[in-house]
Amino acid sequence: MPLLYPLLLSSALFGIGLYGVLARRNAVMVLVGVELMLNAVNLQLVAYDAWFAETLHTGQVLTLFVIALAAAEIGLGLAIVMAMFRATGSIDVDEADRA
């Protein structure tokens, strides 16, 4: 399989994720964009790892870490969203930040 396939897929996901982060009005949806970006990174790491086929599995280990970090980030992010909702009654990004 050409190495380029996963890499191009990764590029596309990264761009879509970035768009989601920058454009969505709902804070939760912004987080969805973040997840897409991180998945793009993971795809690249795994692809390189498979390509190098090294025993250290650096790529896959880092991918594992990134998944864990993403989970932590999303947890904290949702907590902030909840707090924001309680404080302002809205999770509209445009409104909340000007408060």
Partner 1 sequence: MIRRWPYVALTAVVAVAVAIWAIPELDQRAFFGYVPTNATPTMLPSLSLDTRVLPDSAKVMLLAAGVTLLVQVYSTAYMGKDRRYRSYALLIVLFLVAMIAVVATDNLFVLLIGWEVMGVCSYLLIGHWWEQPQSRAGAMKALVVTRFGDLGLLVAIVVIGQTYGTYSITGAWVGAADQGQQHGTAIGLLVLLAVVGKSAQVPLQTWLPDAMPGPTPITALIHAATMVAAGVYVFARLLPLYGNDTTVMTALAVVSGVTMLLAALFALVQHDLKRALAWSTVSQLAYMFAAIAAGAADVGISHLVSHGAYKALLFLGCGVVMHAVGTSALSAMGGLRTTLPATFWTMTIGFAALAGIIPTVGFFTKDRVLESIHVATHGETPLPGGVAWALLVVAYVTVFVTAAYAMRLWMLTFLGLPSKQHVEPPSMTWPLVALGVACLALSIGEPLDLDTAALSTLVALAGIAFAWWRQDADLPGPVQRPLAAELGLDHPITRLIPAGTIGVARVADAADREGIDVYPRGGAVLAGLVSSAVRALQTGRVQVYASVIAVGAFVVVLVGVIAR
Partner 2 sequence: MSLPEAVFLILSAVAVASAVLAVGSHQLVHAALWLVVTLGAVAGCFVLMTAELLAWVQVLVYVGAVVVLVVFALMLTRSPTGSQSAEVTRNRPLAAVLGLLATVGLAATVIAGFRHERITGRLPGTAASIGDALFREWVLAFEVLSVVLLAALVAAIVISRSGSENR
Partner 3 sequence: MSIPIDWATAGPAVIVATSALVALMVDAFWPRRSWFASSLPLLAGLVGGFVELGRTGSVDDVSAALTFVILAGTVLVLVGATVMSDEDSMPPGELHLLLGSAASGALVMVAARDLVTLIVAIELLALPSIALIGLRQGDRRGIASSWTFFLTSVVSTAVTLMGVALLYGSTGTLTYAGLSRELVDPAVPDAVVAVAVVLTLVGLLFKLGAVPFHAWVPDTYRGASVVIAGFLASVSKAGALGALLVLLAIGLSPVDDVWVPVIAVVATASMTLGNLAALRERDGVGMLAWSSVAQAGFLVAPATAVLTAEGLSAPLQYLAVYALANLVGFTALAVVLRTRGSTSYDTLTGLARSEPWLGVPLAFVALTLAGFPPAVIGLVTKYVVLRPVVDDGLTWLAVVMAVNVMLGLAYYLRLVVVLVSRPADEPDGITSRPAAPTGLATAAVAVGTAALVVLSVLPGLLIDHLP
CA dist 37 and 48 (Å) reads 17
| CB closer to partner 1 out of 21 and 66 | 21
Q: What is the CA radius of gyration of the chain?
A: 17
* Residue 98 DSSP label: T
Q: Choose among partner 1, partner 2, partner 3, none what residue 29 binds, the Cβ cut-off being 5 to 8 Å by kind.
A: partner 2
Residue 21 near partner 1 by CB under 8 A: yes
Residue 96 near partner 2 by CB under 8 A: no
Residue 54 near partner 1 by CB under 8 A: no
Which residues of the chain form contacts with partner 1 (CB under 8 A)?
18, 21-23, 30, 93-94, 97-98
